[in-house]
Amino acid sequence: MEKVNLKRLAEELNLSTSTVSRALQDSYQIGDETKSRVLQLARKLNYVPNPHASSLGSRRSKMISVVIPEVTDSYFAQAINGIEAVAQERGYHVLIYLTHERQQQEQAILKEFQGGRVDGVIMSVSAETTSATHLQELLTQRVPLILFDRALEHVQTATVLTDDFASSAQATWHLIKRGCSTIIFLSYFRNLSIGQARLAGYRQALQDSGLPFQPELVVDCTHSDEHNFQLTLDVLQKHAHTDGIICTAEGLTLSVYQACHELRRSIPADIKVICFSNSRSAAILNPPLTTVVQPAFETGQAAANLLFKSLKNKSAVSAADSQVLPSKLVVRQSTGG
């Protein structure tokens, strides 16, 4: 098959390649009739622009990328849908990159973007990320960057977050009102501000209700199911009076249910469980799970809108545009219904 390129189109139309190129880019310098002739032939011959060449020309890749830790978490799957809903309206493609919760992987991916491969980046940092250098470098190269859900402090850009402090305090209060007094807090990303905010909300609710804060009830979980199962077993065995558990990540649900089952502690009779989770399965678990549901789709939408605003105005993203969207407590049987 002969390659269909600008030269071929130009020859068939008896135009210069630069006229064809500008017509395809919808340049104001080219008349409507010519544009129409060029587009018709391009379509007929199934002309595909060389992405490298055309990006160099227009300096726009028409691609944005989303960098997230995992897709096994419903929150991120739903946030992607929110981002894509906005991007598709604007004719942009969305590339998704996974860090698998590793800072090193995150750094390698962001390095890729420095060369201008994408027009902008929407990102949620990995659980193990402690340094912001790779984010700073991207901003120095003027690649617009929006952080959502999991941000890093001291990065001068907009964030779209949930009310982590308030929703964690509300979850803790919910357990306290249901009679819990020894509440385990399964932490997932304590080095990040999201983890700190959720822990602070838990502490505040304990304090306001007159319950003591016991540091040994706070457990740092990891990315391994087996490890989290063992950690949960251990803390439940050490603290036999435990009557409540707060899981700060959806992925911890399985470990908690299995550990309670293993120790024959009934949910909710013996132990009440609440989980930050966007999983649709929450309603059909045994027992149905009380959840803190984050506005995942809306967060993705908001982050994408901020990014496109920056692209349209050709301006840097301002930290002043940051947003906080509220989560919702959905009460089910795991806390007594």
Positions in the binding site for its own copies (CB under 8 A) = 1, 46, 48-53, 55-56, 70-72, 74, 76-78, 80-81, 84, 88, 93-98, 100, 105, 108-109, 111-112, 114-117, 137, 140-141, 225, 253-254, 257-258, 279-281, 283-288
> At its nearest, how many Å lie between its own copies and the CB of residue 250?
10
> At its nearest, how many Å lie between its own copies and the CB of residue 58?
11
> At its nearest, how many Å lie between its own copies and the CB of residue 6?
12
Q: Give residue 244's identity as a one-letter amino acid code.
A: G
> At its nearest, how many Å lie between its own copies and the CB of residue 247?
13
Candidates 41, 270, 135; CA nearest to 256 is: 270
Stretch (H or E) spanning 100? none
> At its nearest, how many Å lie between its own copies and the CB of residue 285?
5
Tokens for 62, please give them.
């028409």
Dihedral over Cα of 4, 8, 13, 17: its sign: positive
> At its nearest, how many Å lie between its own copies and the CB of residue 56?
5
Question: Whose Cβ is closer to its own copies: residue 2's or residue 153's?
Answer: 2
Question: Whose Cβ is closer to its own copies: residue 93's or residue 177's?
Answer: 93
> At its nearest, how many Å lie between its own copies and the CB of residue 57?
10
Question: Whose Cβ is closer to its own copies: residue 47's or residue 173's?
Answer: 47
Question: Whose Cβ is closer to its own copies: residue 38's or residue 68's?
Answer: 68
Question: Whose Cβ is closer to its own copies: residue 181's or residue 258's?
Answer: 258
Other C-beta atoms closer than 10 Å to the C-beta of 222 total 13
C-alpha of 242 from chain center:
32
Q: At a CB cut-off of 8 Å and minimum separation 6, what does 78 contact? A: 278, 296, 297, 300
> At its nearest, how many Å lie between its own copies and the CB of residue 2?
12
Contact 241, 209 (CB under 8 A): no
Determine the Cα–Cα distance for residues 204 and 198; give it in Å rounded to an integer: 10
Dihedral over Cα of 273, 279, 285, 289: its sign: positive
Contact 287, 258 (CB under 8 A): no
Question: Whose Cβ is closer to its own copies: residue 128's or residue 164's?
Answer: 128
Question: Whose Cβ is closer to its own copies: residue 143's or residue 183's?
Answer: 143
Contact 97, 109 (CB under 8 A): yes
Question: Whose Cβ is closer to its own copies: residue 284's or residue 320's?
Answer: 284
Q: At a CB cut-off of 8 Å and minimum separation 6, what does 13 contact? A: 20, 37, 38, 41
Instruction: Give 114's Cβ-side CA count (13 Å radius).
Output: 15
